[in-house]
Amino acid sequence: MSNTPPLLEVRNLRVEFPTRRGTLVAIDDVSFSISPGEVLGVVGESGAGKSMTGAAIIGLLEPPGRIARGEILLNGKRIDNLRYEQMRRIRGREIGAIFQDPLTTLNPLYTVGKQLAETMTTHLPIGPAEAKRRAIEWLELVGIPAAAQRIDSYPHEFSGGMRQRVVIALALCAEPKLIVADEPTTALDVSIQAQVIALLKTLAREKGTAMMLVTHDMGVIAETADRVAVMYAGRIAEIGPVREVVKHANHPYSAGLMGSIPPLDRRVERLAQIDGAMPRLSAIPQGCAYNPRCPQVFDKCRELRPDLLDAGTTRAACWLYDTEAVRG
Amino acid sequence: MADAPPMFEARNLARHFDVSRPLLQRIVSREGKRTLRAVDGISFAIPKGTTLSLVGESGCGKSTVARLCVGLYTPTAGAVVFDGRDLAEARALADQRRRMQMIFQDPYASLNPRWRVGDIIAEPIRAFGLIGTRAEQDNRVAELLTQVGLSPLDRVKFPHEFSGGQRQRISIARALSSNPEFLVCDEPTSALDVSVQAQILNLMKELQQRLNLTFLFISHNLAVVRQVSDRIGVMYLGRLAELAPAETLFRTPRHPYTRALMEAIPDLEMTGRERIPVGGEVPSPITPPSGCAFHPRCPLANDRCKRERPELKPAGDAMVACHAVEEGRDDAMPMPAIVRSAA
C-alpha cells in the first residue's frame, strides 16, 4: 500500500473454535497490513471478530480457539507459529497490548512503579535503578501528576482514567513497534477519553509506533485512525482510508453502520437503521454473510461469497464492485 | 409549555448516602461521618408527552435521579411530584404505580433468565390485576411483542435466546405492559451496538408518538440525547449546570462545562481534527470543591466561583448555574467547534 514494508502483515487468517456440535469459524480469510507509524482502526458490531483478530495477533486466543489457516508476520517474520515462551518475549518487547478494562490488566498486588520497572527490566537491557527512573518518566509522559510520589501507589489508589494511563504507559514502556489496543477508551468518560486518545496519537506520532485500534466507537476511529477495516461476521467487509470509509462507504453494510450513528450536529426525525441482526457463527448464510439484511441484494449475493474487490476509493467485499457481475 | 401542569416534577431533589467507615474504625482514627451527596438539590419539570434528558459523566448522579424518580430510592430532601401527587403518596396506590415504569441499562441483567419471555412481559399485567383471563393476557402479550418488533411466537422462549437489542425490546414490552404514561429510561442503549441503538431509539420515538408517553431519559451520549429530547439537563456532581430546550442547548450552550463536554465528543466530522479535552477529572462527590463544583476545571473561574455556589438562573430560554454567564464573562470561552461549524 505504501513504499515502506509493512510492520505487521496478516494473511488469510482463519480462527476456528472446535465445539461438540461442529467447528465454528470465528474469523475467516482476513488479510491486512499496518505500516510503521500507521493507525489501523478495526470496527464492527459485537461478535464480528474484531477483538479476536487482535487476540490472534498477540497470541492470546482463548482455547479452544486456534489459528487454523493463514499467517501473521511481524517485520517479515512469522509469529503465529511460535512457542508460548518465544511469543511471551515478543509481547511487551515488540507488541504492546492495551485492553478495555484497566483493572484486569494491572496486578493489584504490586505498585504501579514495580509493574512498570519489571516490564522494562524484562525486555530492555537496563538495571533496576534506570528502570525506576524511566518508570517515573513514563508516568509523567502519560500525564500523571506528581509521578515521583505516585510511583509507589497501588492500582486501586488511582481513578479509572488514571489507571488506563498507567496501562498505556505499561504497554509503551518497552517501546514496542506495534500496539494492539482493544477498546482502550470504552470504559472511560468522554472528557477522559479525549485525553487518552490525544495521548495515544501523540505517542504514536512521536515514536513512530504502529497501532491496531479495535473499537465500536466510530467517533474515536474518525479522529484517530489513518485507515479503517469494517468487520462483519468474521470477515472484512470493507477496508480503506478513514475519510472514505466514514463519509463515502462503498459496502452497503459499512454505509448502513455509519448511517445509524446519531449525528451530533443536527436532529433527525428517524435514524437510518439496519434491520435484523448479525448472524450467529453457527448460522452464517450462504454467499455474502450480509445478504439477508442488504438493501441492494441480488442473486449472486445469495450464492457466492465475495472477496475484497476494488471499489475505487476503498476495497469492499461486495458483488456490486465485480466488473463481470451480471445484475439479476 | 407551562400552561398544562407538568406530568412530572422534581423539586429541590436531594439524595445523600452515608459512606462512613464502621463506627469502631472512626473512633480509632478519630474521623467524622462522611456523606456522599449523589444528588444535591435539583429541580425540573416534564410536560406530558415530552422527553427530558439528563446528561453527564459517570458519577454525576444521573442514575440516582432516575431511581429517585420511580421511587427506588427515597429522597433525603425535596420531593418528586407525579401528576400533581407526591410520589411517596402515589407509590402507595397500585393504580398510580402502574402509570410509571423503568427501562434499565443492561438487558442482560434486567430480565430473569429462568422465566419465559411471555411471563416476563405478563408479570406487570398479573401483578396489577389488569387483565383477568389467561387467554386475554396471552393476546395482550402477543400484541406487545408485535408492538416492539418481535414475533408473538417469541413468548415461549427464554431471554438467553435473544441478542442484546432484542432483549432491550423485551424490556420495553414489559415496561409498556401496564399501560404506563411515564417511562424512566436509564441509559437504555449504551450497552448496544450503534446499528441496534438506532433501531431502539426509533422504536422509542414511535411508541412515544403513538401512546403519548412522557420520558425521562438518562444518557451520557450527547448525540443520542439530541435525537430524542425536547429539553436537556446537563448534570455535574449532583447538580444541574444547565437546563435548556434541546435546540437551544446545541445552538448556544452557555455553561462552560456544557461547552467543554461538547468539545470533547468525538464525531464523524472529526477526521483529522484535534479535539480539545476537558482538563482534569470529575472531583470526588464526597469532598466536592468549594463554590462552583466545576471551578477547578473551568477556564472562566475567578474568586467568586471558588467561594460562592451558583444557582440556576434564567439566561435566554435556558437556565444556567454559572457566575460567568450571569456576569456576562462567558464570551471569553469560545463556542465548541460543533456549534461553530453548524452556524
Q: Do the Cβ atoms of B226 and A264 come closer than 8 Å?
A: yes
- Rounded Cα distance, B51 and B216, in Å: 6
The verdict on A226 touching B (C-beta cutoff 8 Å) is no
* Chain A residues with beta carbon closer than 8 angstroms to that of B189: none
Q: Which residues contact B294 (CB under 8 A, 6 or more apart)?
A: B236, B237, B241, B256, B257, B301
**Partner-chain contact A258 B268, CB within 8 Å:** yes
Structure confidence at residue B343 (pLDDT): 66
Q: List the single residue in A with minimal CA-CA distance to B193.
A: A45
The per-residue pLDDT for range B40-54, each reduced to its tens digit, is 999 999 999 999 999
* Chain A residues with beta carbon closer than 8 angstroms to that of B164: 46
Q: Do the Cβ atoms of A182 and A54 come closer than 8 Å?
A: yes
The per-residue pLDDT for range B54-101, each reduced to its tens digit, is 998 877 889 899 999 988 899 999 999 998 888 888 778 878 888 999
Interface A-B: count of C-beta contacts within 8 A = 138
Q: List the single residue in B with minimal CA-CA distance to A254.
A: B195
Structure confidence at residue B271 (pLDDT): 54
The verdict on A324 touching B (C-beta cutoff 8 Å) is no
pLDDT band at A172 (very low <50, low <70, confident <90, very high): confident
- Rounded Cα distance, A32 and A186, in Å: 24
Using DSSP bridges, classify how beta strands A66-74 and A8-19 pair: parallel, antiparallel or unpaired. Answer: antiparallel
* Chain B residues with beta carbon closer than 8 angstroms to that of A222: 266-271
pLDDT at residue A134 greater than cutoff 90: yes
Structure confidence at residue B191 (pLDDT): 80
Nearest to A219 among B205, B250, B267 (CB): B267
The verdict on A146 touching B (C-beta cutoff 8 Å) is no
**Partner-chain contact B277 A274, CB within 8 Å:** no
pLDDT at residue A325 greater than cutoff 90: no
Q: What are phi and psi of B240, to 5 degrees?
A: -85, 125
Q: Do the Cβ atoms of A236 and A229 come closer than 8 Å?
A: yes
**Partner-chain contact A190 B265, CB within 8 Å:** yes
Using DSSP bridges, classify how beta strands A178-182 and A210-214 pair: parallel, antiparallel or unpaired. Answer: parallel
> Which residue of B195, B227, B273 to mutate against A (max A Cβ within 10 Å)?
B195
pLDDT at residue A208 greater than cutoff 70: yes
**Partner-chain contact B220 A190, CB within 8 Å:** yes
* Chain B residues with beta carbon closer than 8 angstroms to that of A194: 264, 266, 275-278
pLDDT band at B274 (very low <50, low <70, confident <90, very high): low
**Partner-chain contact B226 A262, CB within 8 Å:** yes
> Would you state the torsion angle of the CA atoms of residues B277, B198, B60, B296, taken in this order, to the nearest 10 degrees?
10
Ordered DSSP codes for A13-47: EEEEEEETTEEEEEEEEEEEEE-TT-EEEEE-STT
Highest mean pLDDT among A110-119, B103-112, B188-197: A110-119
Measure in Å the smallest separation between the Cα of A6 and chain B Cα atoms. 22
pLDDT at residue B272 greater than cutoff 70: no
Measure in Å the smallest separation between the Cα of A261 and chain B Cα atoms. 6
Nearest to A265 among B199, B277, B342 (CB): B342
Q: How many residues does chain B have?
A: 343
Which H or E run includes B206?
A: helix B194-211
pLDDT band at A72 (very low <50, low <70, confident <90, very high): very high
**Partner-chain contact B264 A193, CB within 8 Å:** yes
pLDDT band at A328 (very low <50, low <70, confident <90, very high): very low
Q: What angle do CA A133, A139, A140 make, to 5 degrees?
A: 90
Measure in Å the smallest separation between the Cα of A194 and chain B Cα atoms. 5
The per-residue pLDDT for range B112-139, each reduced to its tens digit, is 999 999 999 999 999 988 888 889 999 9
Nearest to B193 among A46, A192, A268 (CB): A46
Nearest to B227 among A190, A258, A271 (CB): A271
- Mean pLDDT within B303-324: 94
Hey, which residues 14-43 in chain A have their CB within 8 Å of chain B? none
Question: What is the average pLDDT value for chain B, to the nearest integer?
Answer: 89
**Partner-chain contact B221 A217, CB within 8 Å:** no
**Partner-chain contact A222 B269, CB within 8 Å:** yes
**Partner-chain contact B223 A273, CB within 8 Å:** no
Checking ipTM against 0.90, whether it exceeds it is no
Structure confidence at residue A159 (pLDDT): 78
> Which residue of A264, A278, A280, A313 to mutate against B (max B Cβ within 10 Å)?
A264
The per-residue pLDDT for range B137-171, each reduced to its tens digit, is 999 999 999 989 889 999 999 999 888 889 999 99
* Chain A residues with beta carbon closer than 8 angstroms to that of B58: 189
pLDDT at residue A194 greater than cutoff 70: yes
pLDDT at residue B320 greater than cutoff 70: yes
Q: What angle do CA B292, B297, B300 make, to 5 degrees?
A: 70
CB atoms within 10 A of CB A127: 11
- Rounded Cα distance, A33 and A7, in Å: 7
Nearest to A264 among B164, B201, B226 (CB): B226
Ordered DSSP codes for B94-121: HHHHTTEEEE-S-TTTSS-TTS-HHHHH
Q: Do the Cβ atoms of A169 and A87 come closer than 8 Å?
A: no
- Rounded Cα distance, B254 and B49, in Å: 27
Structure confidence at residue B3 (pLDDT): 57
Q: Which of A164, A173, A226, A228 is nearest to A196 (CA)?
A: A164
The secondary structure of residue B313, as a DSSP letter, is E
The verdict on A228 touching B (C-beta cutoff 8 Å) is no
What domains appear along chain B, each with residue ranges and CATH number? 6-109+181-342 (3.40.50.300)
pLDDT at residue A206 greater than cutoff 90: no
pLDDT at residue A101 greater than cutoff 80: no
The verdict on A220 touching B (C-beta cutoff 8 Å) is yes
